Structure 1
């Protein structure tokens, strides 16, 4: 929540606009810097070399980006609980999806993360080449998505997926799709939930891209419940959604001074 002493201050409002432009510009710049490398390396490197390199570079790049947001854009991130998962794989990592920053935050802490991505992002000029080098998974063909996810989990990856399928519009969470249960059941892999909390719904589905943020922005990700591989898909999907609703309905924005 914006400090009351700063709310309405013209200089602070101007800073929020500068921070917005700087934050979006830095992300675009980092993507553009890696783009030619990813384009060249993808056809040259075999999968066993290109995949880990691509994932490591994305993770490091996102971590650096969040550090820049903390330094220059009055953003505070508490992501420390995700570190507990780094050496505990394979896992289906399922999180709520309030903002465009969600995947950035999660992947910044998990160097062997593979994301299930919208096909439009996989084909995007800025993100597509890096995602393809890292062997991220498209979501436009259900059977292929499930089989590819199973293969990645069998190799020890953290599979990052948002059960809502898109950013949340009706908080605390939208209806969950059965994709998480299908993947976990097919791969016999536990589902680790993450609970993402923001001080404001910045870059959420109802927040236009060029609407200034309300700073300081505070973001926290908590480790949630770990579910065993489901035996009953319908019951699991309902239980997963109910769990998110119960946990996020009780959440309130923290006023702690978060730090990376």
Structure 2
């Protein structure tokens, strides 16, 4: 699709997502909540509906060729129930949408103004998102209402109350999605990993599911306007590292966080090489002067 067509289509896609999210929150989810059934059955219905919204949006982006994306098969060691924490790097704006569509029931920590927004507050509450505080971005995602922190000086220990909420959420048997970078990565460098996600998982004794998101060419990066679309559509891929079990283990969250950051750094460098190779292959070949 030509670049000049993808710009207005991108605007339409995001407008449609927020509008549809508002409709789902104010109309569809309340109906599902009042539909007869046990509390567990109602919860499953709402989780499946919310997950379907995220999956549907990504399928739409793929069908209209704004992005290339196929939802990955979950690995055999992916938790099928109970609390767990999915962590991932954060290369673009739509990473949250990708991860929320992996499995029903996933939630995150959200900005206070989104949690109380007239447009999305009902969806936020039915989805089980955790309200954060103005400075709790060191713990959570940054896209579509999730927390973002542009300041790199925040301390991991700034928000113990939010970590406590995360632990309680996980212990209740509900999973979370967290981006330890807190904000989107730089184009060619990852941000440092904040340890809130690992600390919450260790304290709750739940599995950590490390996922790596790659996109080639880069798009929807930090400080990049939505209308600055690449010449080629971004191809997204989600890969999984082995699940880390924390229950019954004496783990140091700081050390585990450093080890995870090192593993992500290796894969991030590989992604940069893939991007560079693709950009070189796609570049027009200079014609040799005729003799």
Q: Same fold (TM over 0.5)?
A: yes
Tell me what 2:153 maps to.
none
1:94 match: secondary structure: strand
Select 1:21's aligned residue among 11, 19, 28: 11
Say whether the 8 Å CA contact 1:112–1:158 is kept in structure 2. yes
Is 1:93 paired with 2:113? Answer: no
Offset from partner CA, 1:152-173 (integer Å, 9 cap, x none): 3234332111111121136442
Which range is displaced more, 206-215 or 48-57? 48-57
Distance 2:60 2:11 in 1: 13
Gaps of 5+ in 2: 137-158, 279-291
Say whether the 8 Å CA contact 2:84–2:176 is kept in structure 1. yes
Select 2:255's aligned residue among 225, 235, 253: 235
Task: Write out aligned runs for 1:27-46 (5 A).
Answer: 27-37=17-27
Is 1:73 paired with 2:65? Answer: yes
Distance 1:173 1:41 in 2: 42
The 1:83–1:27 alpha-carbon spacing in structure 2 relative to 1, beyond 3 Å, is farther
Is 1:112 paired with 2:132? Answer: no
Say whether the 8 Å CA contact 1:41–1:50 is kept in structure 2. no
Tell me what 1:192 maps to.
209
Say whether the 8 Å CA contact 2:107–2:128 is kept in structure 1. yes
Question: CA-atom RMSD, angstroms?
Answer: 3.0
Which range is displaced more, 194-203 or 32-41? 32-41
Say whether the 8 Å CA contact 2:46–2:126 is kept in structure 1. yes
The 1:145–1:82 alpha-carbon spacing in structure 2 relative to 1, beyond 3 Å, is farther
Say whether the 8 Å CA contact 2:210–2:243 is kept in structure 1. yes
Offset from partner CA, 1:29-87 (integer Å, 9 cap, x none): 31132132278579979976765444322211111111111112342113313465362
Which has the larger Rg? 2
2:176 match: secondary structure: strand
Tell me what 2:176 maps to.
159
The 1:201–1:231 alpha-carbon spacing in structure 2 relative to 1, beyond 3 Å, is same
Distance 1:83 1:113 in 2: 17
The 1:217–1:19 alpha-carbon spacing in structure 2 relative to 1, beyond 3 Å, is farther
Say whether the 8 Å CA contact 1:86–1:110 is kept in structure 2. no
Gaps of 5+ in 1: 1-10, 256-260
Offset from partner CA, 1:136-192 (integer Å, 9 cap, x none): 112326334323322332343321111111211364421111102210121012211
Distance 1:47 1:115 in 2: 21
Could you tell me the TM-score, scaled by structure 2's length? 0.73
1:173 match: secondary structure: coil
Could you tell me the TM-score, scaled by structure 1's length? 0.80
Distance 1:214 1:104 in 2: 23
Is 1:250 paired with 2:239? Answer: no
Which range is displaced more, 94-103 or 127-136? 127-136
Distance 1:135 1:50 in 2: 13
Point out which structure has higher relative CO (alpha carbons under 8 A, 6+ apart): 1
The 1:48–1:228 alpha-carbon spacing in structure 2 relative to 1, beyond 3 Å, is closer
